[in-house]
C-alpha cells in the first residue's frame, strides 16, 4: 500500500477529529454541567462561520476576522443562554430537545434572510496557501497543518483552564454537585453563562476554521452536531479529555474507513461486492463503533469522576 | 345512561369525521388539493401515534423515529425497482425489516437512559440515513421513483385508485389508534408506564422491564414502518429525506403539540403542525422565522399541548 496516501489520510482524519473536538468540547461541558441538550450548538457552528467570514471579508484579513469572531461569538452565546436557554435548565430533556430544535429552524431561516440562500465563500489568505513538506516524501496542505495546530493549542488551553485555574475548579465543582457548590457561595448561573459563552466561541471557531475548505452554508452545523453527539457519547458526557480522545478516534476511523475500507474488503470479497459494500459500510463505521462501545461501557470511555451515574 | 362529551372527546370526533369526509368535502368546496394534504397528514399522524406509544407512555424519547418511515418506504421503493410490485411481498418486507431494525436498535439504545438515549437513537437513525445516501444504485440523494403502487392482486382493492388509497390510510390510522388504546389499557401498558416513572421499583417487583420496553419499541417501529409503506405508495417516491433527522424532530413536535401521553393527541398535533406550516408557508417563505420561536413558546408555556388545553389529562407525569 502507498504509505504516503496512508499518512495523508491519517492527518486528514486527525484534522476532522480536531474540528469535532472543538464542537464536542462545548457540548460536553454544557451537557455535563448544565444537563442541557442543546441542539442549537450546531447553529453556533454555522453562525461562527458566517459572522467570522463576514468580519474577515469586511476587514480584508482572515486572521483579524477570526480574532474579532471570538468576542462576537461570546456575546452571541451569552445572549442565547440568558434569553432562551436559561429557562430550560429545569425542564425535561424532551422540552430541551424541542425548544432547541425550534431555535435551529429560527437560526437557519435568519441566516438565509441575512446572508441569502447561497452561503458565503471565504478565500484562504495567500500566506496560508501552499503545502509543507513533512519529510519522507510527504507533503501536506499548510492550512490543514494550521487547523491541527490551532486545535491542539485550544485543547491544551482548555485543559489548563479546566484543570489548573480557579475558574476551572468552580466549573468542576458545579459539574459534580451544583447545589452544594451554590450553597458554598459560587454564583452558579453566572458560571453557566460563562461556560456557555466559551462553548459558543469554540463552536464558532470550528465553523470558521473549516469554511475556507468547504464554504459557509445554511445548516452546515447539523451533520457536525450529530457527529459531535457520537463523540461525546463515546467519550463520556462531561469529560473534556474523553471528548478529545473520542473526537480523534472518530475522525481517524471515519476518514480511514472512507479511503481504505473497499481495499480491505477486496481481500475477502469479490471486486463488485467490495465496491458496493465499501462505501456503505464506511459510512456506518463510526456508528457501529459507538454501538459497540456503548454495549460494553454504557457510560462512555471516560465518564467524569463523581458525576451522577445515569443507569 | 348518557356520558357528557368532554372538549377533548369532541375534538377527537370532529377531527376523525373531518378526515373521513375530506374526499367528498374537498371537491365540493373546489379544493381537491386538500385530499392529498389530508392523506399526508394522516400518514404523519400514524407515525406520531407510534412515537407517542414509546415516548408518551414509555418515556423513551426516540430522536430517530423517522428512520422507520424510510425503511418502510425503501422496502416499497427497492422492491419496486426490481419489478416486485406485489403488496404481499412488499408489505411483509416493510413490516419485517422495520421490526428487525427496531429490535437491533432497541437492544443497543435501551441499555441507556435520558440524554444518552436521545442521542443514540439520533445517531443510529443517521447511520441508516447515510446508508441510503450512499446507495448509488437506488438513487442516492435524488431518491427513487415508484412507478406502480403496491399491488394487492385484486380489482376490488386497488391502491392506484386515489379514494381507495385515501381510505386505506384512514383505516390504518384507526387501526393503529385502536392497537395503541388496547396496549395502553392492558397490563403490558401499565408496566410500560410504570417503568417510565420508576424503572427500579418495577424491577424490584420482579418485572423484567427491559423486555417490555423492547417489545414496545419494536411495535412502535413496525407501526411507523407501516406509515412509511403508505407514504411511499402515496407519493410514488422515496428519498433519504424521509428519514432526515429533521423529520424525527418534527414527529416529536407533532406529538408534543397535540399532547403527549394522550391517545389522540398526536393526531391533533399532526393536523395542527402540518396545517400551520401549509398556511404559514403561503404567507412568507421565511415562515420558519416565526415557526421556530413559536415552538419554543409552546414548549415553555403550553405544557400538555392542544389536548392539555382542552382539559384532557395526561395519563401520568
ipTM computed for the complex: 0.84
Q: Looking at residue A3, what is its pLDDT? A: 79
By Cβ distance, the residue of A31, A102, A222 closest to B293 is: A102
Residues of B within 8 A of A230 (CB-CB) are 119, 123
Whether B130 and chain A come into contact, CB under 8 Å, resolves to yes
Nearest-Cα distance to chain B for A212, in Å, is 25
> Among A149, A167, A174, which Cα is nearest to A30's?
A174
Nearest-Cα distance to chain A for B53, in Å, is 15
Q: Mean pLDDT throughout B97-113?
A: 91
Whether B291 and chain A come into contact, CB under 8 Å, resolves to yes
Interchain contact, B286 vs A112, CB within 8 Å: yes
Residues of A within 8 A of B245 (CB-CB) are 222, 226
pLDDT higher than threshold 60 for residue B105? yes
pLDDT higher than threshold 60 for residue B291? yes
Query: In chain A, whose CA is at the least distance from the CA of B131?
Result: A280
Residues of B within 8 A of A288 (CB-CB) are 127
Tell me the count of A-B CB pairs closer than 8 A: 128
By Cβ distance, the residue of B61, B119, B137 closest to A233 is: B119
pLDDT higher than threshold 60 for residue B314? no
Q: What is the per-residue DSSP string for chain A? A: --HHHHHHHHHHHHHHHHHHHHHHHHHHHHHHHH----TTHHHHHHHHHHHHHHHHHHHT-HHHHHHHHHHHHHHHHHHHIIIIIGGGTTS-HHHHHHHHHHHHHHHHHHHHHHH-TT-B--PPPGGG-SEEE-STT-EEEHHHHHHHHHHHHHHHHHHHHHHHSHHHHHHHHHHH-HHHHHHTT--HHHHHHHHHHHHHHHHHHHHHHHTTTS-B-TTHHHHHHHHHHHHHHHH-TT-HHHHHHHHHHHHHHHHHHHHHHHHHHHTTS-HHHHHHHHHHHHHHHHHHHHHHHHHH-TT-SSPPTTPPP--
Q: Looking at residue A308, what is its pLDDT? A: 47
Q: Looking at residue B4, what is its pLDDT? A: 66
Residues of A within 8 A of B252 (CB-CB) are 94, 97-98, 101
Q: A34 or A304: which carries more pLDDT confidence?
A: A34
Q: Looking at residue A51, what is its pLDDT? A: 94
Whether A248 and chain B come into contact, CB under 8 Å, resolves to no
Query: In chain B, whose CA is at the least distance from the CA of A100?
Result: B296
pLDDT in tens, B212-248: 999 999 999 999 999 999 999 999 999 999 999 889 9
* Confidence class for position A309, pLDDT limits 50, 70, 90: very low
* Confidence class for position B1, pLDDT limits 50, 70, 90: very low
Q: Mean pLDDT throughout A1-29?
A: 88
Interchain contact, B300 vs A104, CB within 8 Å: no
* Confidence class for position B312, pLDDT limits 50, 70, 90: low
Whether B112 and chain A come into contact, CB under 8 Å, resolves to yes
Amino acid at each position: 500500500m502507498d504509505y504516503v496516501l496512508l499518512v495523508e489520510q491519517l492527518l486528514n482524519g486527525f484534522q476532522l477529529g480536531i474540528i469535532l473536538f472543538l464542537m464536542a468540547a462545548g457540548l460536553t461541558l454544557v451537557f455535563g454541567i448544565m444537563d442541557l441538550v442543546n441542539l442549537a450548538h450546531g447553529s453556533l457552528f454555522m453562525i461562527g462561520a458566517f459572522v467570522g467570514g463576514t468580519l474577515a471579508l469586511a476587514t480584508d484579513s482572515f486572521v483579524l476576522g477570526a480574532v474579532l469572531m471570538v468576542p462576537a461569538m461570546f456575546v452571541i452565546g451569552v445572549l442565547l443562554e440568558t434569553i432562551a436557554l436559561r429557562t430550560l435548565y429545569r425542564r425535561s430533556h424532551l422540552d430541551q430537545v424541542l425548544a432547541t430544535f425550534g431555535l435551529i429552524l429560527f437560526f437557519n431561516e435568519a441566516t438565509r434572510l441575512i446572508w441569502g440562500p447561497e452561503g458565503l465563500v471565504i478565500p484562504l489568505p495567500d500566506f496560508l496557501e501552499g503545502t509543507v513538506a513533512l519529510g519522507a516524501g510527504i507533503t501536506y496542505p499548510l492550512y490543514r497543518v494550521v487547523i491541527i495546530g490551532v486545535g491542539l493549542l485550544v485543547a491544551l488551553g482548555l485543559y489548563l483552564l479546566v484543570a489548573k485555574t480557579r475558574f476551572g475548579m468552580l466549573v468542576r465543582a458545579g459539574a459534580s454537585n451544583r447545589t452544594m457548590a451554590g450553597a458554598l457561595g459560587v454564583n452558579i448561573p453566572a458560571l453557566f453563562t460563562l461556560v456557555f459563552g466559551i462553548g459558543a466561541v469554540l463552536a464558532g471557531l470550528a465553523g470558521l476554521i473549516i469554511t475556507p475548505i468547504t464554504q459557509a452554508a445554511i445548516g452546515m452545523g447539523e451533520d457536525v452536531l450529530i457527529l459531535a453527539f457520537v463523540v461525546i457519547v463515546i467519550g463520556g458526557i462531561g469529560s473534556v479529555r474523553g471528548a478529545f480522545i473520542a473526537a480523534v478516534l472518530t475522525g481517524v476511523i471515519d476518514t480511514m474507513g472512507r479511503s481504505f475500507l473497499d481495499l480491505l474488503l477486496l481481500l475477502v470479497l469479490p471486486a463488485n461486492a467490495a465496491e458496493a459494500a465499501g462505501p456503505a459500510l464506511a459510512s456506518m463505521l463510526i456508528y457501529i463503533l459507538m454501538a459497540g462501545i456503548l454495549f460494553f461501557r454504557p457510560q462512555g470511555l471516560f465518564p467524569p469522576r463523581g458525576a451522577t451515574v445515569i443507569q | 345512561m348518557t356520558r357528557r362529551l368532554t372538549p377533548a372527546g369532541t375534538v377527537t370526533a370532529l377531527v376523525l369525521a373531518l378526515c373521513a369526509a375530506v374526499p367528498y368535502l374537498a371537491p365540493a368546496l373546489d379544493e381537491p388539493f386538500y385530499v392529498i394534504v389530508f392523506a399526508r397528514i394522516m400518514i404523519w399522524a400514524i407515525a406520531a401515534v407510534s412515537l407517542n406509544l414509546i415516548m408518551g407512555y414509555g418515556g423513551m424519547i426516540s430522536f430517530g423515529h423517522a428512520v422507520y418511515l424510510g425503511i418502510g418506504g425503501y422496502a416499497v421503493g427497492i422492491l419496486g425497482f426490481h419489478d416486485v410490485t406485489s403488496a404481499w411481498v412488499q408489505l411483509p418486507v416493510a413490516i419485517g425489516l422495520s421490526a428487525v431494525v427496531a429490535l437491533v436498535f432497541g437492544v443497543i439504545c435501551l441499555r441507556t437512559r435520558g440524554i444518552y438515549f436521545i442521542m443514540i437513537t439520533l445517531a443510529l437513525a443517521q447511520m441508516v440515513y447515510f446508508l441510503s445516501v450512499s446507495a448509488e444504485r437506488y438513487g442516492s440523494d435524488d431518491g427513487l421513483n415508484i412507478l406502480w403502487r403496491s399491488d394487492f392482486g385484486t380489482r376490488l382493492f386497488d391502491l392506484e385508485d386515489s379514494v381507495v388509497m385515501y381510505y386505506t390510510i384512514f383505516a390504518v390510522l384507526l387501526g393503529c389508534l385502536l392497537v395503541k388504546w388496547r396496549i395502553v389499557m392492558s397490563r403490558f401498558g401499565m408496566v410500560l408506564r410504570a417503568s417510565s416513572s420508576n424503572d427500579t421499583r418495577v424491577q424490584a417487583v420482579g418485572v423484567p422491564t427491559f423486555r417490555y420496553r423492547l417489545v414496545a419499541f419494536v411495535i412502535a417501529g413496525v407501526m411507523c414502518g407501516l406509515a412509511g409503506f403508505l407514504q411511499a405508495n402515496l407519493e410514488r417516491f422515496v428519498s433519504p429525506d424521509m428519514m432526515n433527522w429533521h423529520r424525527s424532530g418534527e414527529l416529536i413536535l407533532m406529538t408534543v403539540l397535540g399532547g403527549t401521553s394522550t391517545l389522540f393527541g398526536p393526531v391533533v398535533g399532526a393536523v395542527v403542525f402540518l396545517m400551520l406550516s401549509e398556511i404559514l408557508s403561503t404567507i412568507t417563505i421565511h415562515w420558519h422565522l416565526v415557526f421556530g420561536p413559536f415552538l419554543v413558546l409552546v414548549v415553555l408555556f403550553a405544557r400538555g399541548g392542544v389536548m392539555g388545553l382542552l382539559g384532557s389529562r395526561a395519563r401520568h407525569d
